[in-house]
Amino acid sequence: MRVWSLLKTYTVMVYIFMFAPILVVLLLAFNSSQFGGFPIEGFSLRWFVKLYENDAITRAFRTSLMLGALTAIISTTLGILAALALVRYEFRGKDLITTFLITPVLVPETVLAVGLLIFLRWLHMPRSFGLLLLGHSIIALPFVVLVVQARLTGIRRDYEEAAQSLGASPLQTFFQVTFPLMLPAVFAGALFAFTISFDNITATVFWRPSGMETVPTQIFGMLRNSVSPEINALGFVMICITVGVPLLAGMLARYFSRKKI
Amino acid sequence: MMQSDQSADKRPWALLSPSLFAITILVVIPMAFILVYSFYENVDLAVDRVTFQFGNWQEVMTDGYYHTAIWKTLRLSVIVTVLAAILGYIPAYFIAMTKFRDKWLLLLLLILPFWISFIIRTLSWIHIFGNQGALNGLFRLLGLTDAPLSLMYNEFTVIIGFIHVFLPYMILNIYVSLEGIDENLEPAARTLGATPWQAFREVTLPLSMPGLAAGCLLVFVLTGGSYVTPLILGGPGDFLFGNLIYDAVVSELNWPMGATLSFTLLFLLGLVVVLYSRLMGLNQLSKAFR
């Protein structure tokens, strides 16, 4: 099939387009040159050391990690409750509610950011970490609802009914049957929310109080002149966190579920 | 277990109320405030007067600068959407149709960019097109150029940056609707005498339209609403409507103008979303998560 191999080549080229620039960042993180670009002069870890010694970046890192973790907790809690309602119950206006739950995605993020900021201004409240946290949570919420809803649909009701017919109370059923079954969905939602928060720049630029930086806004600020080698090293670390952690979690989950069976 | 009288069941509403409350407070009410603020008057840096006047709206309606920005945004969003659709359809088709054993790997690689920092993915193009980028490095190595060519900070790099970041949305949406097509349909068309191309054009392509449309909507709206990519990859003349909002709010501290521009953007992109949901319905958008 000549056409088929053409399609295959095309697909491979699109994948190269998607990943080549990212691989270049990963590669340049180890370049010993004092400039953040080509040519590659040698292998060195010094930019990682520099990164570790850079107070502004480590502070931004701590802010981002904290923000991501708290965002994950808030939006996953809200998202799971909402997803349970959508999956488990039939009620009037469900379609409308589903649409309403994804409105934070439908509103352009720039507009969402300005709107919340103006509301806060009207309330005479300054920008704060709390604003970032609430804002990130609302941005992540629709994604968490969709991800958790998709996973919950796969859980069969039979187990709960079996538990209850064997005499478990509704609370016992929830904590001993439903919740453990939901756990993968909870983790998937939380990881997604963390990544969305950790990655956000569009709204964060508007919401952050002066003097507070997250990793993306810190990089954005450092970019004004050129790409410094530290940014490459930082990119390497960020990719390790946001790609490595979910992959590892996925593999561990698979490993343990295999072990049980 | 389930109460027999479903309509009176309050439990789903109890479960939904925290989310509904949060969205109302943090999204719906702020949108109303944007509208209110657009009638205020900017007196000085960060100082506005509470009033009801149409000055900001008049400026947005009549000043050619804002019209240029709207046209630029529309043009760029269309270009990015069309290119992403062309680039994305074939990989989506390939992944959906392949009997290749490592299909899961292709899918995983497709999801992977969602996990990689947007700003890192965007700035990575500086390493390709920049003065110290891969292309200039290659040219120098081959002895083609003495001084680095300036390939960066123009509309082309902005378009590349957008496509790079939004392409996975497009591929994923097309893939989801291709995957849902009964795989016997194309062979059936073939036995009825259609050529492979005809079978694709008459059967598969129309059936994959919902996914293609969902992908196009996402890419269009995401591009039209952004301002960061042009700041990183574009020159001074490459700005989108979002950049005007950024300038008004962050640089000039002109809140009423920022509000007016925000509402304009919300209205324009909202129009696109409403048009789409009339034609397609919004639930196709959530299918990519299944």
Q: Per-residue confidence at B1, pLDDT binned at 50, 70, 90? A: very low
Q: What is the pLDDT of residue A168?
A: 86
Pairing of strands B41-44, B47-49: antiparallel
Top pLDDT among B273 and A249 is at B273
B13-54: per-residue pLDDT in tens?
888 999 999 999 999 999 999 999 899 888 777 777 788 888
B185-200: per-residue pLDDT in tens?
888 888 888 888 888 8
Q: Is the pLDDT of residue B126 over 80?
A: yes
Q: Is the pLDDT of residue B8 over 70?
A: no
Q: What is the pLDDT of residue B222?
A: 92
Q: Is residue B133 part of a domain?
A: yes
Q: Is the pLDDT of residue B262 over 90?
A: yes
Do residue B124 and residue A21 have CB atoms under 8 angstroms apart?
yes
Q: What is the CATH number of the domain that holds B229?
A: 1.10.3720.10
Do residue A89 and residue B9 have CB atoms under 8 angstroms apart?
yes
Do residue B27 and residue A117 have CB atoms under 8 angstroms apart?
no
Question: What is the spatial distance between Cα B228 and Cα B103, in angstroms, rounded to a whole number?
Answer: 34
**Residue A106 burial (C-beta neighbours within 10 Å; 0-12, 13-18, 19+):** buried
Q: What is the pLDDT of residue B227?
A: 94
Q: What is the pLDDT of residue A225?
A: 60
Site from A118, A138, A254 to mutate, B interface, most B CB atoms within 10 angstroms: A118
Domain count across chain A? 1
Compute the nearest-CA separation of A43 from chain B (Å). Answer: 17
Which DSSP letter does residue B287 get? G
Q: Per-residue confidence at B277, pLDDT binned at 50, 70, 90? A: confident
Chain A residue with Cα closest to B168: A18
Compute the nearest-CA separation of A261 from chain B (Å). Answer: 22
Do residue A106 and residue B15 have CB atoms under 8 angstroms apart?
no
Q: Is the pLDDT of residue B6 over 70?
A: no
Domain count across chain B? 1
Question: Which of A203, A184, A82 has its CA nearest to residue A143?
Answer: A82
Of B113, B118, B258, the CB nearest to A18: B113
Site from A114, A177, A223 to mutate, B interface, most B CB atoms within 10 angstroms: A114
Site from B117, B198, B201, B286 to mutate, A interface, most A CB atoms within 10 angstroms: B117
Instruction: Give contacts of B289 with chain A, Cβ < 8 Å.
Output: 143, 146-147, 149-150
DSSP B13-54: HHHHHHHHHHHIIIIIHHHHHHHHHTTSEEEETTEEE-----
State the residue range of the domain holding B92. 64-289
The verdict on ipTM greater than 0.90 is no
% of chain B with per-residue pLDDT over 90: 44
Q: Is residue B106 part of a domain?
A: yes
Q: Per-residue confidence at B289, pLDDT binned at 50, 70, 90? A: low
Q: Is residue A46 part of a domain?
A: no
Question: Which of A157, A144, A156, A158 has its CA nearest to residue A186?
Answer: A144
* Cβ neighbours around B245 below 10 Å, total: 27
Q: Is residue B7 part of a domain?
A: no
The residue type at B163: I
Top pLDDT among B9 and B255 is at B255
Of A3, A114, A201, the CB nearest to B118: A201
Instruction: Give contacts of A78 with chain B, Cβ < 8 Å.
Output: 18-19, 22
Of A22, A138, A198, the CB nearest to B124: A22
State the residue range of the domain holding A196. 56-260
User: Chain A within 8 Å of B265 (Cβ-Cβ)?
Assistant: yes
Instruction: Give contacts of B231 with chain A, Cβ < 8 Å.
Output: 220
Of B33, B121, B290, the CB nearest to A122: B33
Question: Which of A109, A117, A129 has its CA nearest to residue A63?
Answer: A129
Chain B residue with Cα closest to A209: B250
Q: Is residue B21 part of a domain?
A: no
Mean pLDDT of B197-218: 88
Q: Is residue A20 part of a domain?
A: no
Top pLDDT among B102 and B92 is at B92
Average pLDDT, whole number, for chain B?
87
* Residues of chain A predicted below pLDDT 50: 261
Do residue B132 and residue A38 have CB atoms under 8 angstroms apart?
yes
Q: Is residue B41 part of a domain?
A: no
Which DSSP letter does residue A108 get? -
User: Chain A within 8 Å of B235 (Cβ-Cβ)?
Assistant: no
CA B192 centroid distance within chain: 40
Chain B residue with Cα closest to A205: B250
Q: Is residue A5 part of a domain?
A: no
Q: What is the pLDDT of residue A213?
A: 93
Instruction: Give contacts of A116 with chain B, Cβ < 8 Å.
Output: 26-27, 30
Instruction: Give contacts of A20 with chain B, Cβ < 8 Å.
Output: 128
**Residue A34 burial (C-beta neighbours within 10 Å; 0-12, 13-18, 19+):** exposed
Q: Is residue B82 part of a domain?
A: yes
* Cβ neighbours around B116 below 10 Å, total: 23
Do residue B117 and residue A117 have CB atoms under 8 angstroms apart?
no
Question: What is the spatial distance between Cα B175 and Cα A254, in angstroms, rounded to a whole number?
Answer: 25
Compute the nearest-CA separation of A235 from chain B (Å). Answer: 6
Q: Is residue B100 part of a domain?
A: yes
Q: Is residue A8 part of a domain?
A: no
Do residue A111 and residue B266 have CB atoms under 8 angstroms apart?
yes
Q: Is residue A41 part of a domain?
A: no
Q: Is residue A50 part of a domain?
A: no
Q: What is the pTM of this model?
A: 0.89
Across chain B, how many H-helices and E-strands are there? 17, 2
Q: Is residue B121 part of a domain?
A: yes
Q: Is residue A6 part of a domain?
A: no
Which tokens go with B12? Answer: 């789903």
Q: What is the CATH number of the domain that holds A166?
A: 1.10.3720.10
